[in-house]
C-alpha cells in the first residue's frame, strides 16, 4: 500500500526532529570531550611543574604502557575496539609528552655551565647548541673558521662536545684536548665509537663519554629519541650530561664501544648500503618510478619512500657511514657475496630451494615476524590515511 503525501511529510518531520536531537546530543558529548582533554592538559601542566622541581624525566614507559593496557581492557568491556582506543590515547599521551618536553628543554641540570660545541655550525652541532642554550647553559661554538680562538674558548669550560664528520673526529679530539682542564667533560656525537672513544681516553685525562644520537637534526624534540651512550672515564662526573639528555625526553641506551659499532654495522652500514644498491639498480634499469607508484601497494610506496629518502640527503655523509671502518667494509662484502649465492637458484629455476631458504630464515626471525607484521600494518594504514 502506498503512503499518501501527509504520511510522508509526517515521517520526514519525525526524522528531522530526531536527527537534530541526536546531533545536538553528539555535539554536547564532543564539547564534553574537549573540556575533559583541556582539564587533562591542566593536570599535565601540574605534573610538568613537579617534574621540573625534581629534575624527573618526561617519559615514563612503564606508566604509559600500564595505562594503555588498562584502557584496552576497559574498551573490551564496553564492546569497543581496543586498537582504536589505544591509537586515540597514544596521540593524547604523545601530545602530553611534547608539551612536557617543550617545558623541560628550558630546564638545565647544571644551568650556567659552559658548553663548547666543536662543529657547532653544522646541522647536529647547531641542533644541540639550541637545546643547551634554551636550557640555561652558556654555549660557545668552535669551527675551523675560528680555530685560532680555541684556547680562549676552552677557558673554564665544563663540557666540550665534538660534532664533526667521522673522518676528522679523532684529529679534532687531538687538536682540542691540550686546551682542556682535567675537570672538563669531553664527549662526541659520532656514529662510530671504538676509535673515537679510545682517542678521547688517550688525549684527555678528564671525564670522557661517547654519545651517538640515533636520529637526525630535524626532530623538533628529543621525545623518545634514542641516544646510545658508551662510558669512557669518570662516570659520576659524566652523569649530569646523561641526566640532561633524559630530562629533554631522550631514551638512553648504554653499550660498550665495540658492541655499539658491531650493531651499527647492521643498523646503519648494511641498511644504508643495501638501500644504495637497490636505488642504483633501479637507476641503471631506468625504471619509471612515477609509473610504478601508480600501480604500487602501500608497502611498495613505503619502501620506495625510504629509498628516495636516502638519495635526498648528503652523499658524503653516507659515504662516511658506509665506509666507516675496515670491519664494516668486510661485512658489506659478505653481504654482496651472499647475493651472488642466489644466482644458481635463479638460473635453475629452483623454487623448492627458495622455499627452503625462506622457511629457514622465517624460523630464524621467530616471534619478531609477528611483531613486524603488526607494526608495519599500523604504518601502512597510516600511510593510506595520509595519501
d(CA 185, CA 298): 47
pLDDT band at 339 (very low <50, low <70, confident <90, very high): very high
Higher-scoring residue by pLDDT: 272, 6: 272
Instruction: Average the pLDDT over 222-239 and give the result.
Output: 94
Q: Is 234 left (phi over 0), alpha (psi -120 to 50) or beta?
A: left
Q: Does 73 or 203 have the greater pLDDT score?
A: 203
Strand order in the sheet with 159-162: 138-142, 114-118, 159-162, 185-188, 208-213, 226-233, 251-254
Q: What is the mean pLDDT of residues 91-102?
A: 72
> pLDDT grade, residue 96 (50/70/90)?
confident
Choose from 62-71, 83-92, 94-103, 191-200 the range with maximum mean pLDDT.
191-200
DSSP string, 107-155: --TTTT-EEEEETTTSHHHHHHHHHHHHTT-EEEEE-GGGGGGHHHHTT
Sign of the dihedral through C-alpha 25, 27, 29, 35: negative
Q: What is the rounded average pLDDT for all residues in the chain?
A: 89
Model's pTM, two decimal places?
Answer: 0.74
Stated length of the chain: 387
Q: Give domain limits for the chain.
A: 11-104, 114-255, 260-386
Better pLDDT: 212 or 56:
212
CATH of domain 11-104: 1.20.59.10
CA nearest neighbour of 265 among 312, 325, 186: 325
User: Residue 236 above 60 pLDDT?
Assistant: yes
Q: Say how far apart CA 35 and CA 121 lie, in whole Å.
A: 44
Domain topology for 114-255:
Rossmann fold (3.40.50)
Q: Is 348 helix (H, G, I), strand (E, B) or coil?
A: coil
Higher pLDDT, 247 or 241: 241
Using pLDDT thresholds of 50, 70 and 90, give the confidence band for residue 57.
low
Residues 6+ apart with CB under 8 A from 361: none
What are the tens digits of pLDDT across the range 260-318? Answer: 999 999 999 999 999 999 999 999 999 999 899 888 888 888 899 999 999 999 999 89
What is the CA 379 to chain-centroid distance, rounded?
Answer: 15
Q: How confident is the model at residue 128 (pLDDT cuts 50, 70, 90)?
A: very high
Angle between helices 315-322 and 271-284 (to 10 degrees): 130
Closest CA relative to residue 89, chosen from 103, 104, 78, 75: 75
Instruction: Tell me the C-alpha to C-alpha distance, in Å, between residue 190 and each of 22, 73, 156, 234, 376.
Output: 59, 44, 24, 20, 30
Rounded Cα distance between 378 and 21, Å, is 36
Confidence of residue 60 (pLDDT cuts 50, 70, 90): low
Considering the domain 260-386 in this protein, what is its CATH number? Answer: 1.10.3660.10
How far is Cα 157 from Cα 276, in angstroms, rounded to an integer?
A: 41
Amino acid at each position: 500500500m502506498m503512503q499518501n503525501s501527509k504520511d510522508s511529510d509526517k515521517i520526514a518531520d519525525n526524522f528531522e526532529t530526531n536527527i537534530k536531537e541526536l546531533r545536538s546530543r553528539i555535539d554536547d558529548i564532543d564539547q564534553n570531550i574537549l573540556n575533559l582533554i583541556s582539564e587533562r592538559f591542566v593536570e599535565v601542566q601540574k605534573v610538568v611543574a613537579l617534574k621540573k622541581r625534581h629534575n624527573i624525566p618526561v617519559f615514563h614507559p612503564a606508566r604509559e604502557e600500564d595505562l594503555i593496557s588498562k584502557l584496552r581492557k576497559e574498551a573490551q568491556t564496553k564492546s569497543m575496539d581496543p586498537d582504536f582506543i589505544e591509537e586515540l590515547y597514544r596521540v593524547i599521551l604523545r601530545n602530553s609528552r611534547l608539551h612536557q618536553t617543550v617545558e623541560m628543554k628550558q630546564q638545565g641540570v647544571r644551568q650556567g655551565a659552559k658548553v663548547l660545541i666543536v662543529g657547532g655550525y653544522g646541522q647536529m652541532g647547531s641542533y644541540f647548541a639550541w637545546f643547551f642554550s634554551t636550557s640555561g647553559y652558556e654555549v660557545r661554538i668552535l669551527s675551523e673558521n675560528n680555530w685560532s680562538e680555541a684556547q680562549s674558548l676552552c677557558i673554564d669550560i665544563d663540557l666540550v662536545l665534538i660534532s664533526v664528520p667521522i673522518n676528522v673526529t679523532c684529529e679534532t679530539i687531538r687538536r682540542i684536548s691540550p686546551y682542556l682542564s682535567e675537570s672538563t667533560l669531553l664527549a662526541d656525537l659520532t656514529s662510530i665509537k671504538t676509535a673515537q672513544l679510545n682517542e678521547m681516553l688517550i688525549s684527555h685525562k678528564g671525564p670522557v663519554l661517547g654519545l651517538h644520537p640515533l636520529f637526525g637534526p630535524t626532530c623538533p624534540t628529543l621525545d623518545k629519541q634514542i641516544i646510545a651512550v658508551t662510558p669512557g672515564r669518570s662516570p659520576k662526573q659524566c652523569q649530569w650530561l646523561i641526566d640532561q639528555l633524559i630530562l629533554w625526553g631522550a631514551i638512553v641506551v648504554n653499550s660498550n664501544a665495540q658492541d655499539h659499532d658491531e650493531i651499527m654495522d647492521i643498523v646503519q652500514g648494511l641498511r644504508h648500503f643495501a638501500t644504495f644498491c637497490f636505488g642504483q639498480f633501479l637507476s641503471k634499469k631506468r625504471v619509471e618510478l612515477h609509473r610504478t607508484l601508480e600501480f604500487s601497494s602501500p608497502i611498495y610506496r613505503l619502501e620506495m619512500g625510504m629509498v628516495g629518502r636516502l638519495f635526498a640527503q648528503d652523499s658524503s655523509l653516507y659515504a662516511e657511514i658506509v665506509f666507516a671502518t675496515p670491519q664494516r667494509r668486510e661485512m658489506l662484502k659478505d653481504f654482496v657475496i651472499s647475493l651472488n649465492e642466489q644466482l644458481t637458484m635463479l638460473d635453475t629455476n629452483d623454487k623448492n630451494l627458495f622455499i627452503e631458504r625462506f622457511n629457514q630464515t622465517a624460523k630464524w626471525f621467530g616471534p619478531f615476524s609477528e611483531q613486524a607484521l603488526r607494526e608495519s600494518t599500523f604504518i601502512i594504514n597510516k600511510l593510506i590515511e595520509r595519501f
